[in-house]
Chains A and B, each alone.
Chain A
Amino acid sequence: MELLTLTPRLLTLALAVGFGSFLTIAGGIVVARIARDARSRYAARNIEADERRILQFIQSGDPKLAAEMTRTVALREHIIKVGRGLSGDLLSKLMILYTTLEFTRGDFRAMAHGRRQTRLLAMERCRALLIPLPEEAWSILLSDRLPSARWAAMEYLIAAKGRAALPWVLHYIVEETAKRKARKGVLVHLAACLAQHTPEILPHLLDHVDRDAHREILLLVLAQYPSLGAEHRIVRALRADSSASLLLAGVKALGSHPSRDSLAAIGFLAENKIAGIRQAVAEALSRFGDPAAADMLGRLAVDSSYQVRLAAVTSLVELRADLEIEVIAQDPAHPAHLMWRRFSVARPQKGAA
């Protein structure tokens, strides 16, 4: 009963508070926007002149130009923007300019003491210009709770340290694969970044890792970055009892290393009971110029799986294996005949709806 007598007062109070809050929030949003715009305009007041000076600095390296610039957030962001499109010596000059203007010091301070957002944005700026970081900074960045932040930091570390990043990358891969929700694509990307610096190291690593998850990552990278003479090591990494995903990665890697040995190993996998692996074999065979590959594809073109047959026909067309294609084209009852028609766009009729 007391509650009922109180209700009008409570509702009036709630309405007053609500309406007041609405007006305050609404006003706050608009005023904050106006203030932010004004601040940005003020920070960018000399940006056009500074843009010219940045370009002159990149060409001449004259330190006097740095002294003439207005040290603002707008200038800092502009240097980063320019840096994203540069590499080599030009990027180094921009890095010198950035450091001369003491932006680097500010970023290091942010990385050491800032909150996560400040820290990561500072890292991202340094990453854009490939500024070398102190060892303590790497430890902080690589232990971030946000997986994407660790990914970015590791990618930065590889770009900054080159082949010296190998122990860090290996440690990272081992740590991450032990997690329940390891993101395989990220690990493949980092291993691929490392492979750009040291392509010869991956086949050797293949002999020394003992977990299927690690082998799979290395094989996927080898599929992307072939390494001369690696096919023996790839074949050694695959066993009859290997997981389907490892075999799949192995087929892709062998496809990137076309040789007689690879073809023999792939031929063995062409009879695997998993359709996905047979499909990968059919796709990989398009890279082998050997007539035996076309023969193998001819057999896969009558596979029970539609996807395998389609992949086989696609590879046959890519290989220009006329003999096998003729067999498919001439026989309307051939299981791959309809798929072949997908590629027979030789005599199109002018379309009219």
Chain B
Amino acid sequence: MEAISLVMIAYFAVANSCYLIVLICGYVNARRQHLESRLNFIDKLRPMRALTPISILVPAYNEEKSIHASVLSMLQLDYPDFEVIVVNDGAKDDTLGVLIRLFDMVKTDAFLPQILPCAKVRAVYVAPSRPNLVVVDKDNGGKADALNAAINFSRHPLICCVDSDSVLDSDGLARVTLPFFEDPDRVIATGGTIAIVNGREEAAQAGRASVIPWRPLDLIQAVEYLRAFLVGRMGWDLLGCTTIISGAFGVFKKDAVIKVGGYAKGSIGEDMELLLRMHAHAIDHNEPYRVQFLPDPVCWTEAPSDMGTLGRQRSRWQQGLCDSLWRTRRTMMKRGSGMVGWVALPFLTVFEALAAPLEVVGYVSIVAGLWLGYTDPWITGLFLAVTLVYGAILNLAAVIVDQMTFERYRAPLDLLKLVIGALIEQIGFRQIHLYWRMRGIYRWLRGKHVWGEMVRRGIAMPRKP
């Protein structure tokens, strides 16, 4: 029992040290990128029409509540040359009807070339008044399948995958494609930050400065998104180890995606899986490449607001993580695989994929130790308290990095809410999250591909913070 305790303490120490290193790297990178974002390259490049044309791909499944706002915001993006391809992935609700009615779309007999495999396409719709909008109606085949269909129909050399429940900042697209302009030979993928839209519209309507709602789930997710999606990814980016570009907002070089066979059908974490395969392909073929994460372009998304939806999302993320790591296991610690193969993938395996089972072992050993009298309840309680407090400090550190750079939250009340969120995320939520992650692992082991229904309230156009 003592050996298990020592292993758990060592694991806790190493994991937290690693997270601290990533956090410090995140801070350094965030400072640098914040400075770069203030050099206003976009304003200089826009009149020269120098930015690469791009196809925005929007897979939609049962998104009738949010699809209109989302597509409308995409059509209003400040970008010189782009098209929006919405794929209705066999939705059971009126997603297609909403699109046809509100954008006055007409059916065409346009041809869909089969570059990448996808489910049967039923029809293609175009909007005579909006020549850069296309809707592809197809049989249900999952998100990866819908994205492959959209790639088949895209005309431009860059593709941007955006969730249909998300809204981009008006100049977000220009910012996220800047690395492709700077370094067109090497950059194969870029990703922007995902921010939570929950509460912003209500706050704007009420004239409140504070945008985070008082709901515990919103508080917790606001902190989580800052820690994981902003600072965490910035840290990995500095180390050259970006292994995930969120499916909600990522830009890829189309040729590079087609070269690896597009999105893997049936994959649960299709965003991570694709990027890992692109890494593996470039490493195998010894091709120089770059993947970049940018903190400045923001994609606003609606975070789940009930436990059921959140649980399904988190189980799916864990399942996707395990699935992606398994599929690209050959790249791990492979000769010549660099930081991705030697640092990022082992870290993800040990401290992300295996963290949940190890945490369960830790909790079980504590309970067993207490039951059998091997463990001192006082020491156990203290150890747990220290773990939780340091976890909360890591959360706060992410808030500090945000305040020193991009200042996503500016109202003092929001910061107070983030502090509360940082604490309650560690007490209670972490343990529930553990259950969801274990469920994801179980499903992955059983080979169950469950996407799970996402309940949406529908988002309105956010204002810039």
Q: How far is the CB of A53 from chain B (nearest CB, A)?
A: 25
Interfacial chain A residues near B378, Cβ < 8 Å: 8
A interface footprint on B411-436 (CB within 8 Å = 1, 0 otherwise): 11001101100110000000000000
Contact of A18 with B by CB under 8 A: yes
Which of B107, B115, B389 lies in contact with A351, CB distance below 8 A? B107
The verdict on A350 contacting B106 (CB below 8 Å), with A18-B389, A21-B393, A189-B50 known, is yes
Interface string of A145-172 (1 = CB under 8 A from B): 0101101100100000000000000000
Least CB distance from B424 to A in Å reads: 13
Q: Check: A327 CB closer than 8 A to any chain B CB.
A: no
**Interface with A: B163-171, B179-187, B244-252, B314-322, which one?**
B179-187
Given contacts A148-B39, A152-B41, contact A348 B415 (CB under 8 A): no
Q: Are A338 and B389 in contact (CB under 8 A)?
A: no
Q: Which of A18, A29, A117, A353 contacts B400 (CB 8 A)?
A: A29
B130 to chain A: closest CB distance in Å?
13
**Bound CA span A189–B48, Å:** 9
B108 CB-CB contact with A under 8 Å: yes
User: Does A120 contact B35, Cβ atoms closer than 8 Å?
Assistant: yes
Q: Among the listed stretches A30-38, A230-238, A251-259, which one makes contact with chain B, having 4 or more residues with CB under 8 Å of it?
A: A30-38
Check if A351 sits within 8 Å of B419, measured CB to CB. no
Interface stretch (choices A180-188, A201-209, A260-268, A292-300): A180-188
Q: Any chain A CB within 8 A of the CB of B374?
A: no
A245 to B31, CA, bound (A): 35
Contact of B389 among A8, A19, A306 (CB under 8 A): A19
From A41-49, A132-140, A339-347, the one touching the partner chain is: A339-347
Known: A25-B393, A84-B43, A338-B111. A37 touches B106 (CB 8 A): no
A121 and B38 contacting across the interface, CB-CB below 8 Å: yes
Minimum CB distance partner of A28 in chain B? B400
Q: Give the distance to chain B from A157, nearest Cβ to Cβ, in Å.
A: 13
Q: Does A55 contact B (CB under 8 A)?
A: no
Given contacts A33-B403, A224-B48, A345-B108, contact A124 B382 (CB under 8 A): no
State whether the Cβ of B97 lies closer than 8 Å to any Cβ in chain A. Answer: yes
B403 near A29: Cβ-Cβ < 8 Å = yes
Q: Please determine whether B183 and A11 come into contact, CB atoms closer than 8 angstroms.
A: no
- Contact across chains for A185 and B100 when beta carbons are under 8 A apart: no
Q: Which of B181, B390, B399 contacts A185 (CB 8 A)?
A: B181
User: Are A11 and B39 interface neighbours, CB within 8 A?
Assistant: no
The reply to whether A152 and B107 contact each other, CB–CB distance below 8 Å, is: no
Rounded to whole angstroms, the CA-CA distance of A329 and B44 in the bound complex is 44
Query: In the bound complex, what is the Cα–Cα distance between A128 and B97 (angstroms)?
Result: 48
B386 partner, pick from A15, A84, A117, A192, beta carbons under 8 A: A15
Judge whether B206 is part of the interface by a CB distance below 8 angstroms: no
Is there an interface contact between B36 and A8, defined as CB atoms closer than 8 Å? no
A-side contacts of B383, CB under 8 Å: 11
Q: What residues of B have a CB within 8 angstroms of the CB of A330 in the complex?
A: none
Known: A183-B182, A351-B100, A353-B97. A25 touches B400 (CB 8 A): yes
Residue of B nearest to A344 (CB): B109
List, in ascending order, chain B residues with CB within 8 A of A86's CB.
Answer: none
Residue of B nearest to A349 (CB): B107
Q: Any chain A CB within 8 A of the CB of B372?
A: no
Interface flag for A26 (CB, 8 Å): yes
A12 within 8 A of B: yes
Task: Give the shortest distance, in Å, between B74 (CB) and chain A (any CB).
Answer: 20
B32 at the interface (CB under 8 A from A): yes
Residues of B within 8 A of A352 (CB): 100, 107
Contact A185 B35 (CB under 8 A): no
The CA of A30 and the CA of B210, in the complex, are separated in Å by 13
The reply to whether B412 and A18 contact each other, CB–CB distance below 8 Å, is no
A311–B100 alpha-carbon span in the complex (Å): 29
Contact B109 A341, beta carbon cutoff 8 Å:
yes
Report if A25-B396 is in contact (Cβ < 8 Å); known contacts: A18-B390, A19-B389, A152-B39. Answer: yes
> Which of A151, A184, A338 contacts B184, CB < 8 Å?
A184
Contact pick for B396, options A12, A29, A224, A342, CB 8 Å? A29
When distances are taken between beta carbons in the complex, the residues of chain B under 8 Å from A148 are 36, 39, 41
Name the contact of A149 in the complex, choosing from B39, B180, B182 (C-beta under 8 A): B39
> In the complex the two chains form, is B41's CB within 8 Å of A151's CB?
yes
Q: Within 8 Å of chain A (Cβ to Cβ): is B45?
A: yes
Q: Is B125 an interface residue (CB 8 A)?
A: yes
Contact indicator A185/B184 (Cβ below 8 Å): yes
B385 interface residue (CB < 8 Å to A): yes
A14 is an interface residue with CB less than 8 A from chain B: yes
Residue A7 lies at the interface, judged by CB distance under 8 Å to chain B:
yes
Known contacts A29-B419, A121-B38, A189-B50; A351 and B106 CB within 8 A of each other:
yes
Docked CA distance A25–B96 (Å): 49
Residue of A nearest to B383 (CB): A11
Q: Mark B140-166, 1 if CB is under 8 A from A, else 0.
A: 000000000000000000000000000
Contact indicator A348/B113 (Cβ below 8 Å)? no
Q: Are A342 and B106 in contact (CB under 8 A)?
A: no
Q: Contacts of B44 on A, CB cut-off 8 Å? A: 155
Is the CB–CB distance between B109 and A22 below 8 Å? no
User: A15-B389, A148-B39, A152-B39 given as contacts; is B183 within 8 A of A33 (CB)?
Assistant: no
* B307 lies within 8 A of chain A by Cβ: no
* Closest beta carbon of chain B to A17's beta carbon, Å: 9
> In chain B, what residue has the closest Cβ to A159?
B44
Q: Interface readout for A86-117 with B: 1 if CB under 8 Å, 0 if not?
A: 00000000000000000000000000000011
Residues of A within 8 A of B96 (CB): 353
- Nearest first, the 8 A-B pairs at minimum CB distance are A18-B389, A11-B382, A348-B106, A351-B107, A26-B419, A353-B96, A183-B183, A152-B39
21 pairs of residues in contact across A and B, judged by CB atoms under 8 Å: A8-B378, A11-B386, A29-B399, A33-B411, A34-B412, A116-B35, A121-B35, A146-B32, A151-B41, A155-B44, A183-B183, A184-B183, A184-B184, A185-B183, A186-B182, A189-B45, A338-B113, A341-B109, A344-B109, A345-B108, A348-B108
A residues with CB within 8 A of B: 7-8, 11-12, 14-15, 18-19, 21-22, 25-26, 29-30, 32-34, 37, 84, 116-117, 120-121, 124, 128, 146, 148-149, 151-152, 155, 181, 183-186, 189, 192, 224, 245, 306, 310, 338-339, 341-342, 344-345, 348-353
Binding site for A on B (CB under 8 A): 31-32, 35-36, 38-41, 43-45, 48, 50, 96-97, 100, 105-111, 113, 115, 123, 125-126, 128, 137, 180-186, 376, 378-379, 382-383, 385-386, 389-390, 392-393, 396-397, 399-400, 403, 410-412, 415-416, 418-419, 422-423
Known: A30-B412, A30-B415, A339-B113. 19 other contacts (CB 8 A): A11-B379, A15-B382, A25-B400, A26-B396, A29-B400, A32-B403, A124-B40, A148-B39, A181-B183, A181-B186, A185-B50, A185-B182, A306-B115, A310-B113, A342-B111, A349-B107, A351-B100, A353-B100, A353-B137
